[in-house]
Structure formats: C-alpha cells, structure tokens
Chain A
Amino acid sequence: NAGVTQTPKFQVLKTGQSMTLQCAQDMNHNSMYWYRQDPGMGLRLIYYSASEGTTDKGEVPNGYNVSRLNKREFSLRLESAAPSQTSVYFCASRLDRTAGLFTGELFFGEGSRLTVL
C-alpha cells in the first residue's frame, strides 16, 4: 500500500521562486495536514483540511497556501520562497472519528526537504 505519497522529496529554490509540494493519500481519509520540521522545533502545523473543500490555518501559515483538490490530494504552495522556509515538510492524513476504528493516528509521508537559497 502506498499510504501517503509526497513529491518532490528534495528541492532547492532561489529566494522569490514559487513551488508546490504535492501530497496524495490512498486510505480514503478525510483529514489531511501539512507540517514543517525544523531542528529543535519539533513538527509545527502549517495548514490542515478536515474534508474536501475545507482548509484551515495551523500554527505557522504565513507564506503558504494550500489546495484540497479532492479527497485524495492536498497541496502546499510557496508563492515567493524565503530562506526561512528552508525545512522538511511532512504531509499526513487521518481516519475520521465517524469511520468506526478511530485511533487518532496520523499517517505520514516520507517528507520533502526544501532548501531556499
């Protein structure tokens, strides 16, 4: 099973360039998340989506936009990349509480390392 798939896994950008991180899950989950991980900071929530067509800001949304294209896909866009956005980005998804076997577990992709020069 593929689970949660992120692309690309590595990317180098110059300041001011734009890019989109793609995420897709094949587990029929409604809830999807984007986190960033920085040394000594743990994982911080950028945006999340509780269902198709809805998105909400997390702890660190500035400089990012998201699109919940359909139930499977949740993309993260950097419109004008800054060096402060150098980080590892994780997409995750979660089974709904209404689905029966709710555990709260988030299933993560393998991460995308982004460097902004």
Chain B
Amino acid sequence: AQTVTQSQPEMSVQEAETVTLSCTYDTSENNYYLFWYKQPPSRQMILVIRQEAYKQQNATENRFSVNFQKAAKSFSLKISDSQLGDTAMYFCAFMKLLLGGSEKLVFGKGTKLTVNP
C-alpha cells in the first residue's frame, strides 16, 4: 500500500517570507499523481497544486511551486511571499492511476502552517 509522510507537524513563517513543506511517499508504481491540498479554519479542502509523475517539469501555481524528485520520492511545496491567508493545514496526497478507474487518494497526516504578521 502507498504511504505518504509529512515529517513536519507544524511550521511557522513570517508574512512575505518563503516556506517549504516536505512530503515523501512510498510506491513501486510509475504512473501516479501528487497533490497538495489546503484546509483553512473553514474546514474546506482546497486543491493548491498537482503534479503528474510523468512530467519532469515542476508544477507552479502563482506563489505556490513544487520540487518533485521522482527518484527520491519527494514532493515538497514552496510558498513564496507568504500571506496571512495561507495559514492552514496542508495535506500532501498521492493517487495511483488504475486501469479500472478506481483511483483513490491517499493523504499524509498534514502540516499546520501559521503565517505570522
């Protein structure tokens, strides 16, 4: 079974600074997707960014970017110019692609990020 590990239960960063959240995963598969989800205090799960394993180029969405190291099975999230609204739980997630279409999302335990003014 696939596992996703987020080694930093909590992190904090000053507003406007840059912070990197770590994620590693364990799989023998070659065809999969990786995701970062954000969960603010409202409890809503919001997709931040995703990466397809077959793509070598790291995904970027505005201030959010990833460092995808396939051989090392590492998928870190970098948040640049941190804003107070980035305060949230961040979950790394893994999805193995299946022929039958029954893909499931496996989550890490999360990193609680606090952005300080």
Contact = CB atoms under 8 A, between A and B. Distances in A.
Question: Do they bind each other?
Answer: yes
How many of chain A's residues touch chain B, expressed as a range? 20 to 34
Interface residues of B, number: 24
A27 interface: no
Interface string B94-117: 010100111111111110000000
A40 B101 contact: no
A108 B38 CA distance: 12
Q: Which of B33, B43, B95, B97 has the most CB of A within 10 A?
A: B43
Contacts of B50: 103-105
The 4 A-B residue pairs whose C-beta atoms are closest, nearest first, are: A108-B45, A42-B109, A42-B107, A104-B33
Interface of B: 4, 9, 33, 35, 42-45, 47, 50, 91, 95, 97, 100-110
Given A45-B105, A90-B45, 15 more contacts: A33-B104, A44-B107, A45-B104, A48-B102, A48-B104, A50-B100, A58-B104, A104-B35, A105-B50, A106-B47, A106-B105, A108-B45, A110-B44, A111-B43, A111-B44
